[in-house]
Structure 1
Amino acid sequence: MGTDENLKLLPLDDMHRAAGARFGGFAGWSMPITYPLGVMKEHLHTREKAGLFDISHMKLFDVSGSGAGDLLSHACPLGAGSLQHGQSKYTFFLNEQAGILDDLIVTRLGEEHFIVVANAGNAAGDEAHLRNLAKNFDCKIDALDHAFLAIQGPQAADVVRDAGIAGTELAFMNGFAPKPGWFMSRSGYTGEDGFEIGLPSGEARELATRLLADERVAWIGLAARDSLRLEAGLCLHGQDINPDIDPVDAGLAWAISKPVREKAVFIGARALLDKIAAGPGRKRVGLKPDGRQPVRSDSVLVDVDGNSIGLVTSGGFGPSAGHPVAMGYVGKHFAAVGTLIFAEVRGNRIQMHIHPLPFTPHRYHKG
């Protein structure tokens, strides 16, 4: 895949080229898809050691001011004011029908100071949405022009500590500002322990160079990032969740606390509460093909009689699981683990079973 002149370049684009990356377009960015190590080895390297990901395509918003917490508690099903300083929380922007406009991580850095991490493909829409809502609140929104790096894997904390970077004392889903202009959280998108660090581009070059000097660290591309998150049962917005899917069907209602539901001040509250009361009509499930052939997204799912019962939203091979893995939605009566169903792939029916999520256990550092 070559670069399209209309794609945005990562701040460290030249470093990826020097590392031999193969590029492709994703969410308007020219992204490293794989490196010479190859997707299988990149995936396994992350599970066994420490993988370095350039996620600068994602967007960080700095939200501050006396109304910052109230804004975020209205924009998201989130009790922003009840977050502890340093606490990160997985949440959403919802529409009035409780459909998921984007999934986000919000971290409280101070009494009136929050960082919001948004997905690349929704960054412009998220910013417009947030700024429009902010007109009614006393707060300031800064869209940060930062590089953003993630280091993930069982050896990530040791690497970060040995590199002399503060933050290894954090528990998972906590963050802080280790120095002016930096944001660091213990979080990630692989199911492994790790950190995400937002910082000025010039400093990112030095940080990446320092981390890569450690023999335990390798650059990891977007293809392995996708297989890692799929094994971990983590959703990709635009595939597994979208504005037509709500947190109840997606199995993500756990992210919305009881006090937040009771206050119901967030956009889409009425629709979401009705949906919680009614229960899911369909469910997001893990899917394991019985053979070796991966089943890709958009494959139709059918029951033993050939009746359509759902759709695959993400699929591929799970290098750590050792077999093909997929996620998708099925009618609630077909969602029990072990249920036999079929995927229609190019005129053939691939036998599958409903499988528990995640396919590989999460290894987050709870502190």
Structure 2
Amino acid sequence: MTTQPSEILDDSAPETASPERLPLDAWHRSRGGRMVEFASYEMPIQYEGIMAEHAWTRTHAGLFDVSHMGQLAFSGDDVDAALETVLPGDILGLKTFRQKYSLLLDEDGGILDDLMVSRRPDDFYMVVNGAMKFEDIGWLREHLPDDITMNHMEDHSLLALQGPEAGAALAELIPETADLYFMQCNAFTFGGHDLWISRSGYTGEDGFEISVPAEAAEALADALCALPQVKPIGLGARDSLRLEAGLPLYGHDIDTKVSAIAADLGFAISKRRREQGGFIGHGRIAKELTDGVPSRRVGLSIDGRLPAREGSLIFVGDAQVGMVTSGGFAPTVGAPIAMGWVATPHCAIGTALEIEVRGKRLAAKVAPMPFVPHNYRRLKPGA
């Protein structure tokens, strides 16, 4: 059976006449990467096939080029307090060499983007979605104080090494990375170049995201793919992996029309921030925590083999109660799965639903997420 990425070709970024090329463009093409336009870049969607690449990442280690993402650095006096005005997370309490998932919210509490933010010894490092990076940069410049310096790290590539053998593979090149646990990060060197590495990723597997100077990216990619555990993996498998992991894709599962609470992303808003506020969008967050939300992001398991794609309508009887936002065949699960927005009265795990696909109604039910258990290398509590 073949599979296709759930929504990866339906990018929300505006089309450009001539998409940009990644620093590793020739590297991808030389390895048989099939290139497509995504987030205004030409990017590899697959090499030997999405199913094979998905399975390899679940069992070994896959190398993803995510250099289309926006890498930003923030510095200045009281930069952590300044970031708390635009992010709902506990930035003041974020320890050095730690990172966390966070959000950019608009004045109405809608989600402008989701992101990762890390505290480094001298600044903060942030990774935002590629399709939204220029909008994010403009919004941050507008809302942060003038004395906060923001550096768009356009001279850096970003590589993601993901899979159960990722730790052992990277440790062969950089032994000190073996000491990192999930959501920890630090500076390392490779071939005389400075790297910033976090133990994180967007596949549900153990792994790393590696910020590397663009001129050193090819040497690092060559060294990693020379290891028997590692193969290059395209965007198609990255999308099917993140769907199995229950992770939302910006512009599809989340956007400005929805809130963090309804999207089941409330964990990104600490208790202190919920109570004290002081960030853009807090009014809606506070109201929804008190009053509830009309619909929620849920997981969906689907009977049969036919996948439900983005835009498929969800029903209970004759009443439409929601819509699919991401969907596809899940190779690890061996069945079609989806994410979607469903009216709150029908969001309980196990609730029977129907999804309309090609004029047919497919039996489905609300399913717990993740669909495949996360495999992060977590630090034990108290350690």
Residue from 82, 96, 102 that aligns with 2:107: 96
Code of the residue aligned with 1:74 in structure 2: it is T
Give the corresponding residue for 2:62: 51
- With over 3 angstroms needed to count, the CA separation of the structure-2 counterparts of 1:131 and 1:138, relative to structure 1, is same
CA-based RMSD: 1.5
CA offset at residue 348 of structure 1?
A: 1.2
Give the corresponding residue for 2:135: 125
What is the DSSP-based 3-state SS (H/G/I as helix, E as strand, rest coil) of the residue aligned with 1:168? Answer: helix
CA offset at residue 271 of structure 1?
A: 1.6
What is the DSSP-based 3-state SS (H/G/I as helix, E as strand, rest coil) of the residue aligned with 1:104? Answer: strand
What is the DSSP-based 3-state SS (H/G/I as helix, E as strand, rest coil) of the residue aligned with 2:227? Answer: coil
Q: CA offsets, 1:181-234, max 9 Å, x none?
A: 422100000000000001111111111000000011011100000000000000
Give the corresponding residue for 1:143: 152
Code of the residue aligned with 1:138 in structure 2: it is D
Q: Is the 8 A contact 2:117 2:125 kept in 1?
A: yes
Q: Is the 8 A contact 1:71 1:133 kept in 2?
A: no
**How many Å separate the matches in 1 of 2:83 and 2:252?**
25
What is the DSSP-based 3-state SS (H/G/I as helix, E as strand, rest coil) of the residue aligned with 1:364? Answer: coil
**How many Å separate the matches in 1 of 2:107 and 2:284?**
7
Moved over 4 A (4+): none
Q: CA offsets, 1:6-39, max 9 Å, x none?
A: 111010000000000111111111110010x210
Q: CA offsets, 1:284-308, max 9 Å, x none?
A: 11111111111101101011x2210
Code of the residue aligned with 1:178 in structure 2: it is F
Give the corresponding residue for 1:231: 244
Give the corresponding residue for 1:176: 186
Code of the residue aligned with 1:322 in structure 2: it is G
Residue from 144, 158, 164 that aligns with 2:174: 164
Code of the residue aligned with 1:317 in structure 2: it is F
Q: CA offsets, 1:122-161, max 9 Å, x none?
A: 0000111111122x25321100011100000000000000
**How many Å separate the matches in 2 of 1:126 and 1:268?**
15
Give the corresponding residue for 1:39: 50
Code of the residue aligned with 1:11 in structure 2: it is P
Q: Is the 8 A contact 1:68 1:138 kept in 2?
A: no
**How many Å separate the matches in 2 of 1:280 and 1:363?**
31
What is the DSSP-based 3-state SS (H/G/I as helix, E as strand, rest coil) of the residue aligned with 1:81? Answer: coil
Code of the residue aligned with 2:87 in structure 1: it is C
Deviates more, 1:347-356 or 1:233-242: 347-356
**How many Å separate the matches in 1 of 2:289 and 2:22?**
40
Give the corresponding residue for 2:32: 20
Q: Is the 8 A contact 2:196 2:211 kept in 1?
A: yes
Structure 2 gaps, min length 5: 1-8, 10-14
TM-score, normalising length: structure 1: 0.96
TM-score, normalising length: structure 2: 0.92
Deviates more, 1:217-226 or 1:77-86: 77-86
1:292 and 2:305 matched: yes
Aligned residue pairs, count? 362
Q: Is the 8 A contact 2:16 2:40 kept in 1?
A: no
Code of the residue aligned with 1:276 in structure 2: it is L
Give the corresponding residue for 2:314: 301
